[in-house]
Copies of this chain bind each other. A is one copy, B any other.
């Protein structure tokens, strides 16, 4: 049966990088990949056109699709908008409306790009860690929230961090299941010494670990986790944490690799349906210049083939092709180094297609 993929390019470099991933997916059609792509507006682009960062039409398209390929949202242009209509709300809306609670963010060092890390080679060589971030709860979505005026006339802003056991169990299981296919170690990150909400997080993870006797569970406070990522990132296999902590730690972790332009991510619901997007942002400063690195988005398409479309062979072909173009010395500006061949966004996409 034909699988529907909603393609939401978004803002900044989004359209350019998504176009290259689409090239790669389309190249598989002749080999029997039965997909149909539909295009929708999201983020600032959607706001400019419709007044909403997540138009109803896009939401319906995303709901009906089997998988979603997303570019990136946001940019300076929309930073002064009210928070309720910012581009980011489009992304948060899809995550929440589609129940994409499990965000998988690998931090992987590509041996061909080992030099790009700001960390010493011995600290990061071979780095391969997976951050599992809860994506539809926590302080991102907790109620009540807002800005109120106090009696003395001053403003007060407030947000609510909230997790219930079932949400913690659900994301915990994803982390434990992934760990089983890796090195069977899960580090749960919280601030249980200060925040009651994450005290419950820790207790719940500990109770859940009884179902996974073969996986080693450890706990770490978030401040220590941020330090340990810098000190000795290879100590980690799978990290699981809240929405907010995961936002911070996964960006830190991906930057350790020096190849943030290379890292894909998946956001999954309970049935394996998912949204796939690069970890990096919309990079408005380089938008439209045909210099952005499309590999993270191309690798996101590979993740989609693996996790949602059940086409591991096609996923493998993309991943090997990416490795091949790196071996060939092709580099976009962000990963360029002396002796390599500098290519544009489109040239990189073409090279991957040629190497499939």
Chain A interface (Cβ within 8 Å of chain B)? 74, 79, 83, 86, 88, 92, 118-120, 123, 139-140, 142, 145-147, 150, 154-166, 191-201, 204, 222-224, 226-227, 229-232, 244-245, 247-252, 254-256, 260, 281
In the complex, the 4 A-B pairs of residues with the closest C-beta atoms, listed nearest first:
A157-B200, A157-B197, A226-B252, A156-B164
Please name the residue on chain B nearest to A193 by beta carbon. Answer: B88
**Contact of A196 with B88 at beta-carbon distance under 8 Å, contacts A118-B231, A154-B165, A231-B118 already known:** no
- B154–A162 contact, CB under 8 A? no
Give which listed residue, B86, B194, B249, contacts A226 with CB less than 8 A.
Answer: B249
- B255–A231 contact, CB under 8 A? yes
Q: Which residues of B contact A222 (CB under 8 A)?
A: 247-248
Q: Which residues of B contact A158 (CB under 8 A)?
A: 142, 160-162, 196-197
- A251–B223 contact, CB under 8 A? yes
Q: Which residues of B contact A159 (CB under 8 A)?
A: 160-162, 195-197
- A165–B161 contact, CB under 8 A? no
- A227–B255 contact, CB under 8 A? yes
- A200–B86 contact, CB under 8 A? no
- A147–B92 contact, CB under 8 A? no
Give which listed residue, B165, B198, B256, B281, contacts A230 with CB less than 8 A.
Answer: B256
Please name the residue on chain B nearest to A169 by beta carbon. Answer: B154
Please name the residue on chain B nearest to A150 by beta carbon. Answer: B164
Q: Which of A120, A194, A223, A232: most chain B CB closer than 10 A?
A: A194
Taken together as a complex, chains A and B put the C-alpha atoms of A140 and B229 apart, in Å, by 23
Taken together as a complex, chains A and B put the C-alpha atoms of A192 and B78 apart, in Å, by 12
Q: Which of A248, A249, A251: most chain B CB closer than 10 A?
A: A248
Taken together as a complex, chains A and B put the C-alpha atoms of A47 and B249 apart, in Å, by 33
Q: Which residues of B contact A200 (CB under 8 A)?
A: 147, 155-157
Taken together as a complex, chains A and B put the C-alpha atoms of A313 and B94 apart, in Å, by 59
Q: Which residues of B contact A245 (CB under 8 A)?
A: 248
Q: A155-B200, A157-B197, A161-B161 known; 7 other A-B pairs, CB under 8 Å?
A: A139-B195, A146-B196, A147-B197, A150-B164, A154-B165, A158-B161, A223-B248
Please name the residue on chain B nearest to A123 by beta carbon. Answer: B118
Taken together as a complex, chains A and B put the C-alpha atoms of A201 and B159 apart, in Å, by 12
Q: Which residues of B contact A229 (CB under 8 A)?
A: 252
**Contact of A83 with B199 at beta-carbon distance under 8 Å, contacts A120-B119, A158-B161 already known:** yes
Give which listed residue, B161, B195, B231, B252, contacts A227 with CB less than 8 A.
Answer: B252
Taken together as a complex, chains A and B put the C-alpha atoms of A158 and B88 apart, in Å, by 24
Taken together as a complex, chains A and B put the C-alpha atoms of A118 and B120 apart, in Å, by 6
Taken together as a complex, chains A and B put the C-alpha atoms of A197 and B83 apart, in Å, by 11
Please name the residue on chain B nearest to A145 by beta carbon. Answer: B196
- B251–A252 contact, CB under 8 A? no
Q: Which residues of B contact A254 (CB under 8 A)?
A: 227
Q: Which residues of B contact A164 (CB under 8 A)?
A: 150, 154-157
Q: Which residues of B contact A161 (CB under 8 A)?
A: 139, 158-161
What's the nearest-Cβ distance from chain B to residue A244, in Å?
7
Q: Which residues of B contact A79 (CB under 8 A)?
A: 193
Please name the residue on chain B nearest to A164 by beta carbon. Answer: B156
Q: Which residues of B contact A195 (CB under 8 A)?
A: 139-140, 145, 157, 159
Please name the residue on chain B nearest to A250 by beta carbon. Answer: B223
Q: Which residues of B contact A156 (CB under 8 A)?
A: 162-165, 200
Please name the residue on chain B nearest to A200 by beta carbon. Answer: B157
